[in-house]
Amino acid sequence: MKNFTTTLACLTSLLLTGCYAGSQFTIEASHLDQPVSLSSTIHNNKLEVLKAGEYEEIGRFSVSFSGWSLGSPLSPNPKRDISDVLNQIVKEKGGNGITHLTIQAANNPVNFVSMVLKGVSWFGVVLGSAILLSSNPNKTVPIEMIAVSAAGILFLPTVGDFTVEGMVVKIKQPEAWK
């Protein structure tokens, strides 16, 4: 019976491990000083659409950062405001806008570690529950095992690596921009 319970716990945790370790991040910009376009076009002061070649391209930039999350349903959706970073880049390069803004997302190796540890935690929850429901008189150990394992499932961190790239540009009517 004990072997059967252990085998069942192993198989269940194996399947549950197949879920995932991951999380969602929101990247926003609430106080940009200059226009930042994700496409290759941007407006001038007459609200005419300028295509690539109709504005001066000063130089490309690339900014990388990581976002940490608990990766569980209890975790709030982490937000990252990159306004200050983009404002600083435009200021340093002497431009008055950004075009071709691109976002790149990647898994961090921490997520693979969390995925394994979450599998171990699921195993702890299943095994602890099996012992708790059995005729074992000692209930303290399985309760502790379930509590620690559940904490692992809920609070193991996940990390997303992000890179924001773009082109700092100079519009031909700079007096029109803020």
By DSSP bridging, strand 158-170 and strand 97-107 are antiparallel
Closer residue to other proteins (CB): 1 or 74? 74
The nearest distance, CB 153 to other proteins, in angstroms, is 15
Q: Among residues 88, 102, 134, 136, which is the contact residue for other proteins, using CB under 8 A?
A: 102
Tokens of 164: 């924001």
The nearest distance, CB 84 to other proteins, in angstroms, is 12
Tokens of 90: 């435009």
The nearest distance, CB 173 to other proteins, in angstroms, is 10
Stretch that binds other proteins, among 19-27, 55-63, 128-136, 143-151 (CB under 8 A): 19-27
Closest CA to 44 of 171, 169, 167: 171
26-45: contacts with other proteins (CB under 8 A): 26-45
Encode 49-80: b = buried (16+ Cβ within 10 Å), e = exposed: ebeeeebeebeebeeeeebebbbeeebeeeeb
Binding residues (CB under 8 A) for other proteins: these are: 15, 17-45, 47-49, 83, 100-117, 158, 160-163, 165, 176-178
